[in-house]
Chain A
Amino acid sequence: QKEVEQNSGPLSVPEGAIASLNCTYSDRGSQSFFWYRQYSGKSPELIMSIYSNGDKEDGRFTAQLNKASQYVSLLIRDSQPSDSATYLCAVKETNAGKSTFGDGTTLTVKP
């Protein structure tokens, strides 16, 4: 059973702080890695995708991938109350394949 594990929440940070979300995966053959944001009762919304080792930055978000450690993370800089949501880590074994999701980490950004 291929697993995706996320750091248990909930995670609470003050407005303006850095939020750090972590994810590990069991399948060494995984090719593609995604972070989604999900508000309660809504569908997953893509924040970042990352395919190769290293960092990828997009505005206030930075995804980091370390395939040797089977680890992917998401940093949110200058956190805003509107960032409060559940963040889902998803991993694809092949580029065309299904996504396997973690349980999610609920982030609360306090004003």
Chain B
Amino acid sequence: EPEVTQTPSHQVTQMGQEVILRCVPISNHLYFYWYRQILGQKVEFLVSFYNNEISEKSEIFDDQFSVERPDGSNFTLKIRSTKLEDSAMYFCASNRGAEETQYFGPGTRLLVL
């Protein structure tokens, strides 16, 4: 069964460094999302992406964040200058049609020291 994949599974970085989190959505899906979950807190929406552009973003998704679909398969989230409070689990999700369910990847656990 097709699934969303994410790399790396864990990332440790120093405050101020740039990180790129990678996702490969399910191949025939058209809508892509990033969410994050700080330890012990709820899953929070960051950004949605459709037709090669951002369709919606949250207040969390400030100028330090960017997303890109550099080729036909990858979907990346870049954090330009990481802060301690960026430490969280980051989930990529995708769905095929507008009315269909989002499927989540396994997540990348980011730790900023």
Interface residues of A in 90-104 (CB under 8 A from B): 90, 94-104
Q: Which chain B positions have C-beta within 8 A of A45?
A: 104
User: B45 is contacted by which of A51, A94, A98, A104 (Cβ under 8 Å)?
Assistant: A98
Smallest Cβ-Cβ distance to A36: which chain B residue:
B104
Which chain A residue lies CB-closest to B31? A96
- How many A-B pairs with Cβ below 8 Å? 58
**How many angstroms from the CA of A46 to the CA of B97 in the assembled complex?**
16
Main secondary structure of the interface of A (DSSP, over half): loop
Cross-chain contact of A100 among B45, B97, B103 (Cβ < 8 A): B45
* A69 CB-CB contact with B under 8 Å: no
The answer to whether B42 and A99 touch across the interface, beta carbons within 8 angstroms, is no
**Chain B interface residue count: which class?**
20 to 34
Q: Which residues of A contact B35 (CB under 8 A)?
A: 99
A88 and B101 contact, CB distance less than 8 A: no
Interface residues of B in 1-49 (CB under 8 A from A): 31, 33, 35, 41-45, 48
Determine which of A46, A101, A102 lies in contact with B101 in the assembled complex, contact meaning CB atoms within 8 Å.
A46
Could you say which of A34, A51, A101 contacts B42, with CB atoms under 8 Å apart?
A: A101
19 extra A-B contacts, CB within 8 A, seeds A41-B89, A95-B97: A32-B99, A36-B104, A41-B109, A43-B89, A43-B91, A43-B104, A44-B104, A46-B102, A88-B43, A90-B43, A95-B98, A96-B48, A96-B50, A97-B56, A99-B43, A100-B45, A102-B42, A103-B41, A103-B42
Q: Which residues of B approach A to under 8 Å, CB–CB?
A: 31, 33, 35, 41-45, 48, 50, 55-56, 58, 89, 91, 93, 97-107, 109
**Can you list 7 A-B pairs, Cβ within 8 angstroms, ordered by A?**
A32-B99, A34-B101, A43-B89, A96-B50, A98-B33, A99-B43, A101-B43
